[in-house]
Amino acid sequence: AAGVIQSPRHLIKEKRETATLKCYPIPRHDTVYWYQQGPGQDPQFLISFYEKMQSDKGSIPDRFSAQQFSDYHSELNMSSLELGDSALYFCASSLEGVAGNEQFFGPGTRLTVL
């Protein structure tokens, strides 16, 4: 079965650069969530989208933005990168009203800021 796809899997950037992470949900899933996990830290919810509209917002810095496109894939845009942004970013997708909105997580994108 198709799973959540994230690209790239690994990304290395310099401070103050920008980065764009992409998430392709499971086909027909209409909700995407983004999480950030620092080394040895708990994953922190960043933001979620349902039907291309922002549905919930967590601890997303103002330097980050995200959107969900008409094909339901989502992109997380990160600007003015800081060393503390080095983390594993994973997204999850779910289908509203199905299986209790069970989230299926992608493998994550490992971002390293030098």
What is the Cα–Cα distance from 5 to 33, expressed in whole angstroms? 13
Q: How far apart are CA 23 and CA 91, in angstroms?
A: 6
- Minimum CB distance to another protein smaller for 16 or for 45: 45
24 contacts 91 by C-beta, under 8 angstroms: no
User: Interface with another protein includes 82 (CB under 8 A)?
Assistant: no
Query: Which of 76, 108, 111, 113 touches another protein (CB under 8 A)?
Result: 108
Does 72 contact another protein by CB under 8 A?
Answer: no
Q: Give the residue from 39, 28, 33 showing the smallest Cα distance to 86.
A: 39
**Strand 31-37 relative to strand 87-94: parallel, antiparallel, unpaired?**
antiparallel
Count the site residues for another protein by CB under 8 A. 25
Among 1, 53, 62, 100, binds another protein (CB under 8 A): 100
* Binding residues vs another protein (CB under 8 A): 31, 33, 35, 37, 39-40, 42-43, 45, 48, 55-56, 58, 88, 90, 94, 100-103, 105-108, 110
